Chains A and B, each alone.
Chain A
């Protein structure tokens, strides 16, 4: 009877006509308000299969809220959410059995031992690979007889990662996985992401405010600020459309110059530097029109793009507040 119940909702709505084999996660016009604050506003996101998809934003921008919509922990107030063509709220079994989830909160049950957690999680996923789980456990150096509450934060993150990876999920969802962890655990997590993506057809969706990680590992990046999507696209294309230009004026300028496509200016008098968005040719023409010349041009790093786009002064590549 219980298995009938677990399979019960599995035959609910399948949007067969709209299921796109190439898009594993699809959000269309999702809005979410908590009381008077708007956490997400008109967010649309399409995660293609087989990519590493990065979600970037400051703390409180809406990344966790968005990921909770993907998992079905939040219902979209407007718009819709589809994961593998299914609605995660209507069909939790169908969606969650294909997702491996690691969150930054400590919500693994404290009283369980590591081997009990492995045995328990194993029963839920038909694609669980025992040998792979054992290999991960040895690689992470997890003592099977220890209780989770006795583990350090890094070990707890590794345990959560083991449980998320061992059933070879079709999509790995990580919510700020590196927060508060030492560099060795961060390497383990990045290595897990790379290993997952190397296997055919698997997708990784992760949110982070550590932009150097995002830069190394992601194919697609979406930047969220105050609930709105500021930037979205393939990482190479994004980095190709931003340039860090240093321009020099012959006469000292009293304030930052106005050149179309330039985001926050820095500098004084003769020389001004800014991250600019647009084609290089049109930017050069605009600089010439303003009466300056370009003395230096380089490709900005992802956190410089982020800082310029979001418009705040913050050390984006360091973790913490």
Chain B
């Protein structure tokens, strides 16, 4: 290590060497694929799908150069590794070298992907402006990640400004028809202010000068005080554990939804005054709000499986593992805390919905839409539909939050990696398959006829795996045999009553009973929830 530059470069390489190697290998593979396959239109979606992970890899590269992989970026401390502050390097050098390597690397990365993979694959990808946009974004990501902030989460809010400006500048290219070199020059010149901000931030972190905006968060702590205990005592261990899980992560989803709801409300209100959207358009309807609680948990609510602190998500800390509570009890407490979170999210959504209805006075319009939708149903059936909605919609929010707990609870890194692959690959694979199906209408009938069979076999497979998991639970005595029998009975009862209800409500031609049965079986959570106590026991008793 004869110069600091080499030292920094070596350290970055060494820390992420496996990811770099994997990325280069994957790049080589996609490169050969794009050149080997014929260049007809039919193959373009496939090639695009294969190169999506490369774009994800570029994002990971950004995170690596910003030292964000080891640090808690959402917190308030600087993400710059503190051990580098004791090196005999000036702050300008400490900041300059990673920024230089990062911007060059990511620009080259995009150029490589665009010119060697995307363009030969038949996609007309632009070369220069995404490269400089990525470089500028990386510079600002580094600047913001390395600056200590006064409040946790403030960094994410502050990031909106420079990234938004950069994206807007590149969008100007079409709106104002500016020539590409000018836009590229403007984007490149944004790196210098980022460097100045980064040097100031890292200098601050190096001095140990951590701003603390307690006065801003005083009100937040007062609210948190309502949730804390003053002289309250718990009636049972389960209640105490629910409180624990709620305090650990219960507020995350409601806060995120609370931030999303104003945007959606504004969107709906703007669209109502926009003549481009016809009165029947879904973008004008207040029911658009219902999308938020249904989508948000899938994107944000999956953290319930993590037992440890944010940095070492894997091993369950001894404090939790030595609670005198069964694994099933711990899981049940997590599920209850998640249910409270889901309930709060729905309360907020309904309040916002009523607010929109009041503001726009569209109650009559909504009533008319409702009557039009349900004109074929009798009054009893309408109440049944409403009741079903009231029960099922919050459960639809709750289910994605707890469905994948077993991944985090297992406490092994390879389980995380395998789960990511298994959950990411099918959607990525669906794009080319879907494009192929759309382009070959002659197969539509055959495919439609095959759908019930596919669903039925999937449902059968789920029941088999579910039965095996439950048997494993019973054998390891993680759940009392009698309680297990009661749970299975309740599940069967719910499934049968749902099937019966749907059969009654929906016209017979639309949904034959076997299709309905398969759908209900596939929708009800069984297997992954049964895996959760097994995973926790596997982690707790190694």
Task: Give chain A's interface residues, CB within 8 Å of chain B.
Answer: 1-6, 8-9, 11-12, 71-75, 89-90, 92-93, 95-97, 99, 101, 103, 105, 107-113, 115-116, 119-120, 122-125
Contact A108 B479 (CB under 8 A): no
Contact B228 A113 (CB under 8 A): yes
Q: What separation, in Å, do the CA atoms of A122 and B241 have in the docked complex? A: 11
Q: What separation, in Å, do the CA atoms of A3 and B478 have in the docked complex? A: 14
User: Residues of A contacting B248 with CB < 8 Å?
Assistant: 109, 111
Known: A9-B480, A73-B542. A3 touches B324 (CB 8 A): no
Known: A110-B309, A123-B239. A115 touches B234 (CB 8 A): no
Interface segment out of the listed B58-66, B269-277, B314-322, B430-438: B314-322
Contact B233 A122 (CB under 8 A): yes
Contact A75 B541 (CB under 8 A): yes
Can you name 4 extra interface pairs (CB under 8 A) apart from A107-B319, A122-B240? A8-B479, A71-B321, A73-B318, A93-B324
Q: What separation, in Å, do the CA atoms of A116 and B324 have in the docked complex? A: 18
- Could you tell me the distance in whole angstroms from the C-beta of B314 to the nearest C-beta in chain A? 13
Known: A5-B326, A74-B541, A93-B325. A123 touches B319 (CB 8 A): no
Contact B325 A6 (CB under 8 A): yes
Contact A8 B318 (CB under 8 A): no
Indicate which residue in B240, B318, B479, B483 contacts A123 across the interface (CB closer than 8 Å): B240
Contact A96 B324 (CB under 8 A): yes
- Could you tell me the distance in whole angstroms from the C-beta of B61 to the nearest C-beta in chain A? 32
Contact A12 B477 (CB under 8 A): yes
User: Residues of B contacting A115 with CB < 8 Å?
Assistant: 229
- Could you tell me the distance in whole angstroms from the C-beta of B271 to the nearest C-beta in chain A? 41
Contact A122 B329 (CB under 8 A): no
Contact A90 B247 (CB under 8 A): no
Q: What separation, in Å, do the CA atoms of A2 and B237 have in the docked complex? A: 9
User: Residues of B contacting A93 with CB < 8 Å?
Assistant: 324-326
- Could you tell me the distance in whole angstroms from the C-beta of B540 to the nearest C-beta in chain A? 7
Q: What separation, in Å, do the CA atoms of A107 and B323 have in the docked complex? A: 13
- Could you tell me the distance in whole angstroms from the C-beta of B484 to the nearest C-beta in chain A? 9
User: Residues of B contacting A74 with CB < 8 Å?
Assistant: 541-542
User: Residues of A contacting B479 with CB < 8 Å?
Assistant: 5, 8
Name the residue on B nearest A72 (C-beta).
B541
Interface membership of B15, Cβ < 8 A: no
Q: What separation, in Å, do the CA atoms of A248 and B328 have in the docked complex? A: 68
Interface membership of B333, Cβ < 8 A: yes
- Could you tell me the distance in whole angstroms from the C-beta of A108 to the nearest C-beta in chain B? 6
Interface membership of B236, Cβ < 8 A: yes
Q: What separation, in Å, do the CA atoms of A110 and B309 have in the docked complex? A: 9
Contact B234 A99 (CB under 8 A): no
B: interface residue count bin: 35 or more
Interface membership of B244, Cβ < 8 A: yes
Contact A119 B234 (CB under 8 A): yes
Q: What separation, in Å, do the CA atoms of A9 and B243 have in the docked complex? A: 23
Q: What separation, in Å, do the CA atoms of A103 and B541 have in the docked complex? A: 17
**Most interface-central of B323, B324, B325 (chain A CB within 10 A):** B324
Known: A6-B326, A97-B324. A116 touches B229 (CB 8 A): yes
Indicate which residue in A3, A73, A122 contacts B234 across the interface (CB closer than 8 Å): A122
- Could you tell me the distance in whole angstroms from the C-beta of A296 to the nearest C-beta in chain B? 47
User: Residues of A contacting B243 with CB < 8 Å?
Assistant: 120
Instruction: List B residues 81-138 near A (Cβ within 8 Å).
Output: none
Known: A6-B325, A74-B542, A120-B243. A107 touches B238 (CB 8 A): no
A to B CB contacts below 8 Å, 29 in the list: A1-B483, A4-B480, A5-B329, A5-B332, A5-B480, A6-B236, A6-B329, A9-B477, A9-B478, A12-B477, A73-B318, A73-B541, A73-B542, A74-B542, A89-B541, A92-B326, A93-B324, A93-B325, A97-B324, A101-B322, A103-B318, A105-B318, A109-B244, A110-B309, A122-B234, A123-B233, A123-B234, A123-B236, A124-B324
Q: What separation, in Å, do the CA atoms of A30 and B115 have in the docked complex? A: 61
**Most interface-central of A90, A107, A108 (chain B CB within 10 A):** A107
- Could you tell me the distance in whole angstroms from the C-beta of A2 to the nearest C-beta in chain B? 4
User: Residues of A contacting B323 with CB < 8 Å?
Assistant: 96, 124
- Could you tell me the distance in whole angstroms from the C-beta of A88 to the nearest C-beta in chain B? 8
Known: A5-B329, A12-B477. A73 touches B236 (CB 8 A): no
Contact B328 A108 (CB under 8 A): no
Q: What separation, in Å, do the CA atoms of A111 and B319 have in the docked complex? A: 13
Known: A8-B483, A122-B233. A99 touches B228 (CB 8 A): no
User: Residues of A contacting B319 with CB < 8 Å?
Assistant: 107-109
Interface membership of B232, Cβ < 8 A: yes
Name the residue on B nearest A71 (C-beta).
B322
Q: What separation, in Å, do the CA atoms of A4 and B236 have in the docked complex? A: 11
Contact A6 B237 (CB under 8 A): yes
Known: A4-B480, A73-B541, A119-B234. A124 touches B318 (CB 8 A): no
Instruction: List B residues 471-489 near A (Cβ within 8 Å).
Output: 477-480, 483
**Most interface-central of A4, A6, A105, A111 (chain B CB within 10 A):** A6
- Could you tell me the distance in whole angstroms from the C-beta of A119 to the nearest C-beta in chain B? 5
- Could you tell me the distance in whole angstroms from the C-beta of A166 to the nearest C-beta in chain B? 14
User: Residues of A contacting B229 with CB < 8 Å?
Assistant: 115-116, 119
User: Residues of B contacting A8 with CB < 8 Å?
Assistant: 326, 328, 477, 479-480, 483
Name the residue on A nearest B537 (C-beta).
A89
Contact B234 A120 (CB under 8 A): yes
Indicate which residue in B244, B317, B333, B480 contacts A107 across the interface (CB closer than 8 Å): B317
Indicate which residue in B240, B317, B483, B542 contacts A5 across the interface (CB closer than 8 Å): B483
User: Residues of A contacting B239 with CB < 8 Å?
Assistant: 123
Contact A75 B542 (CB under 8 A): yes
Q: Would you give the 0/1 interface string for B511-535, flagging 1 where the beta carbon is closer than 8 Å to chain A?
A: 0000000000000000000000000
User: Residues of A contacting B238 with CB < 8 Å?
Assistant: 2-3, 5-6
